[in-house]
Chains A and B, each alone.
Chain A
Amino acid sequence: MEYINNIYDYQKAEIIAQPEQKTHRAIIAQGTVNQTIQLNVKAMENSSLELHICNIIDNEDTIKYDIDVTAEENSNVTLSVVSIKGKNVDVNINVNIIGKNAEVNLPGLLLPSKNQSFTYHSNVIHKSGGSTTIQKVRTVADDNGYGDFFGIIKVDPNAQKSVTEQVNNNILLSTDARIESKPQLEIYADDVKCSHGSTTGMLDQEAIFYMRSRGISQKTAQNLLLEAFINEVIENLSQDNEYKDFVKDQIANKLGME
């Protein structure tokens, strides 16, 4: 994994995975940042492309991403977004699947808390058949935090045998927190397997009582449930443990876990 710690080098960048090559990068947006980042991402035939974005910018700052992704035949693409800190973090993703048998994975995790607004908008188009898109985005909103998931997956008429799975699960930790969720499917082919879903709720109070009855404090019980909810996204981000551990540390830091 190649780490990009200085986001200024990436205001307008192209990331290309050449045929048969692996390109794995992680953008760590941190510190004082008020930017729009435009990324042009291309996974060529038989390539493996991972692009991970972790947002831990200062709490007064704003960052916006416009990301265009093209997936060619047999490419394997992961584009992940984890938004932990910042005043406004807005991510717009357009994915064009133009080749057959591409695999696209779009995991996301938004953790807005006090005065934070994190949005995730995506538009995925299957233009060619036999490809797969898996999009699992989770939000945990605390205080008056705002999380917004808006995702379209569109399957063109000639993209037969497409497989898509889109699911957005959200947890509200406070009555002032707000979450909007709009998963959408547009299917114009008749031989496809597509699903989408969305859930939003508070933490399972029965599970919390069950844990407390074993001697686990309210706070620890809540953290164990949150950790489990979050880890399901983190574990599937990448094979790269170093990056996953980095993200876990940042999250633990934010949520005040041990």
Chain B
Amino acid sequence: MLEIKDLHASVNGKEILKGINLNIEKGKVYAIMGPNGSGKSTLASVIAGNEVFDVTQGSITLDGKDLLKLKPEERAAEGVFLAFQYPVEIPGVSINNFMKAAINEQRKYRGQEPMPAPDFLKLIKEKKELVALDKKLDGRSVNQGFSGGEKKKLEVFQMAMLNPKVAVLDETDSGLDIDALRIVAEGVNKLKSEDNAFIIITHYQRLLDYITPDVVHVLYNGRIIKTGDRNLVLELEKTGYDELKKQADELYK
């Protein structure tokens, strides 16, 4: 469904991604692990279309469509979702207005009429329950004054509202206590279907105790240096990244 081929990307002339190849299939969960500074968040940002990064080589396609030619909002309407590592506070913009704008602009892009208000309210109620979003957040501005856990839950809530084909979760487990972690994981597990795929970017195995990945990639220094199944997670937990890093440094020196 999502194909990434030989992707190179840089920021301020510094190359961060040095040839990424990924084939994301429907109905599967992918984990991308790796030490800090390996390029995990850059990969997430480039998929979503953050213009801070320059793609210098390679391609990203979603169901054959060239994503690199699309604006971030067009990619979203095509079915790409990024759960941010650091969700942004938007003072004065309520969660409901934000979601209404997002859903209706996506529908407009797809040539659909705006969602009727009763359907929207029903949807928002249903999805708030899915992630156990606190009632006290109703009517609040997007992410403003939210705790770390609340921000991450709001990311999963938005994902549920927008129902993407491919969701990239960038370090969604960072800054979460165990209860919030479980709610986020349950949210993802409930949203998982035969028609969508998840890319879970994480530093630790913690979130992967709750969401079982089908494929695990290890990213280091802008390249995928190892691929395996869920057992790779446990292996890494035991051995750490050092041995893999050494092998990769040897290979690409």
Chain A residue with the shortest CB-CB distance to B78: A215
Please tell me which stretch of A63-71, A191-199, A225-233, A243-251 contacts chain B, meaning at least 4 of its Cβ atoms lie within 8 angstroms of it. A225-233
* Cα(A220)–Cα(B106), bound, Å: 12
**CB nearest neighbor in A for B71:** A212
Query: Are A209 and B50 in contact, with the CB atoms below 8 A?
Result: yes
CB pair A214–B92 under 8 Å, yes or no, is no
Asked whether, in the complex, the Cβ of A210 is within 8 Å of the Cβ of B162, the reply is: no
Over the window 47-82 of chain A, the binary record of Cβ atoms lying under 8 Å from chain B Cβ atoms (1 yes, 0 no) is: 000000000000000000000000000000000000
Q: Which residue of A lies closest to B83 (CB)?
A: A213
A204, A214, A228: the one contacting B102 at CB < 8 Å is A214
Q: Is A210 within 8 A of B84, CB to CB?
A: yes
The distance in angstroms between the C-alpha atoms of A206 and B88, with both chains bound, is 7
Residue B186 interfacial (CB < 8 Å): no
B9 touches A (CB below 8 Å): no
Interface contact A217-B97, CB-CB below 8 Å: no
Contact call B106/A215, Cβ cutoff below 8 A: yes
Q: Select which of A213, A217, A224 is within 8 A of B93 by beta carbon.
A: A224
Q: Is the CB of A220 within 8 A of B92?
A: no
Partner of A227 from the list B77, B89, B92 (CB cut-off 8 Å) is B92
B contact residues, range: 20 to 34
In the complex, residue of chain A having the shortest beta-carbon distance to the beta carbon of B99: A214
Counted as pairs of residues, one from A and one from B, with CB atoms less than 8 Å apart, the total is 76
Complex interface: chain A residues within 8 A of B90 (CB): 207, 210-211, 224-225, 228
A39 to B97, CA, bound (A): 41
Instruction: Give residues of chain B (27-59) contacting chain A, Cβ–Cβ below 8 Å.
Output: 48-51
B15 interfacial contact with A, CB 8 Å: no
Contact A215/B105 with A209-B72, A225-B93, A228-B93 known, Cβ cut-off 8 Å: yes
Q: Are A216 and B73 in contact (CB under 8 A)?
A: yes
Known A-B contacts A209-B50, A224-B101; A217 and B73 likewise in contact (beta carbons under 8 Å): yes
Contacts of A209 in B (CB 8 A): 50-51, 72, 88
B19 lies within 8 A of chain A by Cβ: no
Complex CA gap A105/B76 in Å reads: 44
Nearest CB of B to A229, in Å: 7
- The B162-217 residues at the A interface (CB cut-off 8 A) are 162
**Other-chain contact of B98, A204, A211, A217 (Cβ < 8 Å):** A211
Contacts of B84 in A (CB 8 A): 210, 213
* Given known contacts A215-B73, A215-B106, A210 and B88 CB-to-CB distance under 8 angstroms: yes
Instruction: Decide if A218 is an interface residue (CB 8 Å cutoff).
Output: yes
Interface string of B98-132 (1 = CB under 8 A from A): 10011101100100000000000000000000000
Asked if residues A216 and B88 are in contact (CB atoms below 8 Å), the reply is no
Bound-complex Cα distance A215 to B158 (A): 11
Bound CA span A217–B93, Å? 15
B105 and A220 contact, CB distance less than 8 A: yes
B240 interface residue (CB < 8 Å to A): no
The range of chain A's interface size is: 20 to 34
Among B50, B89, B162, point to the contact of A214 (Cβ < 8 A).
Answer: B162
Contacts of B91 on A, CB cut-off 8 Å?
228
How many angstroms between the C-alpha atoms of A232 and B77 in the bound complex? 31
Interface presence of B82 (CB below 8 A): yes
Q: Residue on B with the closest CB to A214?
A: B102
> What's the nearest-Cβ distance from chain B to residue A66, in Å?
34
Tell me whether A214 and B88 are in contact (CB under 8 A). no
Question: Which residues in B have their C-beta under 8 angstroms from that of A214?
Answer: 73, 76, 98, 102, 158, 162
Contacts of B75 in A (CB 8 A): 213
A224 touches B88 (CB 8 A): no
Bound complex: CA A86 to CA B115 (Å): 39
Among A210, A213, A220, A228, the residue within 8 A (CB) of B101 is: A220
Q: Return chain A residues, CB-CB under 8 Å to B82.
A: 213
Q: How far is the CA of A207 from the CA of B143 in the complex (A)?
A: 11
**Quick check: is B148 within 8 A (CB to CB) of the other chain?**
no
Q: Are A212 and B76 in contact (CB under 8 A)?
A: yes
The answer to whether A217 and B76 touch across the interface, beta carbons within 8 angstroms, is no
The residue from A212, A224, A228, A229 contacting B72, defined by CB atoms under 8 A apart: A212
Inter-chain CA distance A214–B161, complex, in Å, is 10
Give the Cβ gap from B92 to chain A, nearest Cβ, in Å.
3
A229–B76 Cα distance when bound, in Å, is 26
- CB-based nearest A residue for B97: A224
A11 CB to nearest chain B CB (Å): 38
Contact A216:B102 (CB < 8 A) given known A206-B88, A211-B90, A228-B90? yes
Residues in B neighbouring A229, C-beta threshold 8 A:
92
Question: What 9 pairs between A and B have smallest CB-CB spacing?
Answer: A228-B92, A215-B76, A215-B106, A214-B102, A212-B72, A210-B88, A212-B73, A215-B102, A213-B48
Interface residues of B (CB under 8 A from A): 48-51, 71-73, 75-77, 81-82, 84, 87-93, 97-98, 101-103, 105-106, 109, 141, 158, 162
